Amino acid sequence: MLNFLIRIIYITLAIIAVIGLIKFYTPFNENDYRRIVDKGEIVAGIRTGPSSYYEVKTEKIGYTYDVLQELSKFLNLDLKVIALDNTASALQMLNEREIDILADMGILNNVNLNYSHTQADYYLVYNSDFLKKPTNHQSISDHSINIIDSPKIIRGLGQFFNKSNIDLIIMNEKNIDEILHLLVEGKIKYTVLSSDELTFYKVNFPEIEIAYKIATDVKYNWALPNNTSHHFPNELSNFFTDMLKKNKLKYIKQRNLNGDAKYSFVGSKNFIKDLANIFPLYEFYFKSYSKKYKHDWRLLASVGYQESRWNKDAISYTGVKGIMMLTKNTSIDMKIDDRTDPKDSIYGGAKYLRKMLDKIPDQINQEDKIWYAVAAYNIGFGHVIDAIDMAKKDNKIISDWESLKPYLLKLSQSKYYKKTKYGYARGWETVKYVQNIRQYYDILVFLDSQDNVINNKEIDDKIPSTL
């Protein structure tokens, strides 16, 4: 009897073990959607970049990320995002069910579905400072074009170049930011941008010019794992049908891809005009809260102007609002009720700038700490620390603003930001941002030294050309 029971136990354990092994080694070809629902979370792989996904001031933003947010709401699931730059590893993670969906990764093989929800045109772009405008494939010098490692471009556009003997030079480990900087510097001659990317980047890279259109209505694709059951594709299709019907995709795209003109310096004439007509409305708040939080009011006013042109109704594509363009999380942290109220906004901005300033490491020169704080106001304190840490690894002494700038620029370069805590950031925008504020500040300092300067229409001629 005892032996019989022992045999029964052994047999049972063996069955359990076999079932476990089968479950472990068998691909998830059952209902993937049910698996996702049961865990209460959808895990999405997404390419890091300004038109898709990145973080600033602890806020996750980007067109693709916003669409994923809508998808998670539609499915009533939490959202987890994993930033991916390598297509091969992305596919592996997808088919091994480490991620549930790939968003906007391009035309991919070995997946169950490439679901297209929108299209974009693609253009050949060049730097007009260095090159004559090519009008067709035959007029491209060296017969080569530098592109990012993107299946959307390689497979989607390759067919348009094959017959013309054009070499597509794939820039491995380079993102769009890096390639455009190489283009601006004259180190490469041509690259390819979508209509969405062109709209976004043209603001900050005015040197970029369109040569000609390469392709029309190239699809944006979302991919699901191989052998996915029909339930998940059906839900995804229902989601995009609903988004298109309600025109939400167009709205999200416009909000995210219009670029941000605030990084352009408006010029002293426009600044003086706004100083005379708009600034008096908020002068009391700038001066009062600057005193409260121990700022130079001219600096705080310059930050406000750079952020919004002193427009109380300003709203960014990232969702920040008001004169000081505070995020929702920042407004909560600063304990203000209404970001669009000028008094609340300037109070919150002054308080937040002080918070950033107090966190700047003591190794930074006292007179330069404010520019570190201004940079943190724009890009987030975490990214500033990432830049400082990069310098430390290079055994560089970081003490002033000029020594930080090269490392802020590296935050958009994949070989550097992959090793940082907070990842990709548009550091080149932050450098422009601080530069513009310093110019506005210098103008205000100069004007403040004059008598009755705001009403003096000839004051622009008196401003030193160095400002």
State both tokens at 305.
Answer: 């102007």
Burial class (CB in 10 A: 0-12, 13-18, 19+), 431: buried
Pairing, β 144-148 against β 167-171:
parallel
Q: Annotated catalytic residue: which of 307, 367, 402, 429?
A: 307
Q: Name the β-bridge partners of 275.
A: none
Helices and strands per DSSP (H, E), number in the chain:
20, 10
Residue 20: C-alpha distances to residues 10, 25, 26, 386, 411 (Å): 15, 9, 10, 44, 45
Q: Name the β-bridge partners of 326.
A: 321
**For residue 5, what are the contacts with CB-CB under 8 A and spacing of at least 6?**
none
**Are the C-beta atoms of residues 45 and 65 closer than 8 Å to each other?**
no
Please, where are the H alpha helices in 309-341?
328-333
Interatomic CA distance for residues 228 and 209, integer angstroms: 43
**Are the C-beta atoms of residues 256 and 149 closer than 8 Å to each other?**
no
Order of strands across the sheet with 41-47? Answer: 78-84, 41-47, 101-103, 208-224, 113-127, 190-194
Residue with tokens 């997946």: 111
State both tokens at 4.
Answer: 């019989």
**Are the C-beta atoms of residues 223 and 101 closer than 8 Å to each other?**
yes
Residue 227: C-alpha distances to residues 7, 25, 110, 280 (Å): 39, 15, 10, 65
Annotation marks residue 185 as catalytic: no
Please, where are the H alpha helices in 186-229?
195-201
Residue 365, classed as helix, strand or coil, is coil
**For residue 338, what are the contacts with CB-CB under 8 A and spacing of at least 6?**
344
Residue 178: C-alpha distances to residues 53, 82, 391, 410, 414 (Å): 16, 21, 19, 9, 8
Q: How many other C-beta atoms lie within 10 A of the C-beta of residue 365?
A: 13
Question: Catalytic positions, please?
Answer: 307
